């Protein structure tokens, strides 16, 4: 988890690092560290320099936080609502909250796939699974103090351990186990108390097991949603690939028709120019023939006049 670094301005600068494309993180981080060091903030510069480049799955979750805050907050709010429902022991509200979390996870998973592809990444099923696991963990940590800071993740987040969950359940109205030291043979009254404590312990174990089964069912539901989403995305991708191939084929056919039309146009242009030249030659020949005819007519008239003069 990334710690707070320096002043408010430094915090905003660090936040900005985690909004950048993944390939630009190292360069921007080093530039920020150098700027802080030049400004005389050596400790802050060292802390910035130590920031690890996020994994692709952690980067994707960060982008959901920065670019789709409303959808992200809807998921984390389900964790808080779940705890309130447990406190009130309203089973209907618990089921409703779990359904809301599955819907929020499915929506975020779809946004993640679009986001990754838009950034030039091709997410594998394993990457999508790590993203879903991290989102589920963040929804639980929303009800626990000291959880990971959203928007600055550098690695995947695992769900909280048993101690944290036990603390969460204890805070939600679940009775705590009480360890009773062994004593001498109990009186009938103490034996009855021991039986009562055993009933309490058995009831708590049963409630803990029921809570565990509900979490397992929720996790299975989330996994099924993720698998269904993955299947839908693959189908959309296949349709897109098919459409692209068809478009490419049509483009090639159009280019071929264009080339053939250009060739026909060029031939027609050449034929037109040749016909124009022939027409020009013919016009010249006609003019020359007309001139020759006129000269011949004048010669005949002159010869006729000379002949008449002699007679």
Per-residue pLDDT of the chain (311 residues; tens, 9 = 90+): 556 666 677 788 999 999 999 999 999 999 999 999 999 999 999 999 999 999 999 999 999 999 999 999 988 888 777 777 766 666 766 777 788 888 989 999 999 999 999 999 998 999 999 999 999 888 888 767 777 888 999 999 987 754 444 444 444 443 333 333 333 444 555 555 555 555 556 776 777 777 778 767 766 766 676 577 667 757 777 776 677 788 678 888 878 888 888 888 888 887 778 777 877 877 887 888 888 889 888 998 998 888 888 88
Q: What is the dihedral sign for C-alpha 133, 135, 141, 147?
A: positive
Q: How many helices (H) and strands (E) does the chain have?
A: 9, 0
Burial 5-25 (b: 16+ CB within 10 A, else e): bbeeebeebbeebbebebeeb
Integer Cα distance of 154 and 59 in angstroms:
7
Residue 111 burial by Cβ neighbours in a 10 Å radius (0-12, 13-18, 19+): middle
Whether the model clears a pTM of 0.75, i.e. scores above it, the answer is: no
């Amino acid at each position: 988890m990334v710690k707070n670094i320096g002043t408010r301005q430094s915090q905003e600068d660090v936040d900005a690092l985690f909004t950048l494309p993944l390939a630009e993180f190292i360069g921007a981080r080093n530039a920020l560290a150098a700027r802080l060091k030049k400004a005389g903030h050596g400790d802050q510069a060292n802390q910035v320099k130590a920031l690890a480049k996020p994994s692709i799955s952690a980067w994707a979750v960060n982008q959901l936080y920065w670019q789709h805050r409303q959808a992200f907050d809807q998921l984390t709010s389900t964790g808080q609502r779940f705890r309130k429902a447990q406190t009130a022991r309203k089973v209907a509200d618990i089921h409703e909250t779990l359904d809301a979390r599955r819907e929020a996870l499915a929506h975020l998973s779809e946004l993640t796939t679009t986001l990754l592809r838009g950034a030039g990444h091709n997410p594998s099923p394993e990457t999508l699974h790590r993203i879903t696991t991290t989102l589920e963990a963040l929804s639980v940590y929303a009800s626990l103090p000291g959880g990971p800071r959203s928007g600055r993740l550098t690695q995947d987040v695992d769900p909280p351990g048993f101690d944290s969950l036990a603390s969460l359940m204890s805070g939600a109205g679940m009775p705590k186990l009480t360890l009773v030291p062994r004593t001498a043979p109990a009186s009938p009254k103490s034996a009855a108390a021991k039986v009562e404590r055993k009933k309490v312990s058995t009831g708590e174990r049963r409630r803990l097991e029921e809570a565990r089964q509900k979490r397992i069912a929720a996790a299975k539901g989330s996994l099924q949603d993720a698998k269904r989403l993955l299947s839908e995305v693959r189908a959309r991708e296949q349709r897109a690939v098919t459409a692209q191939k068809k478009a490419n084929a049509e483009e090639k056919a159009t280019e071929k028709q264009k080339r053939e039309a250009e060739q026909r146009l060029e031939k027609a242009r050449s034929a037109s120019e040749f016909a124009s030249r022939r027409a020009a030659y013919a016009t010249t020949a006609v003019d020359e023939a007309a001139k020759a005819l006129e000269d011949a007519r004048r010669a005949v008239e002159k010869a006729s006049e000379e002949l008449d003069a002699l007679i």
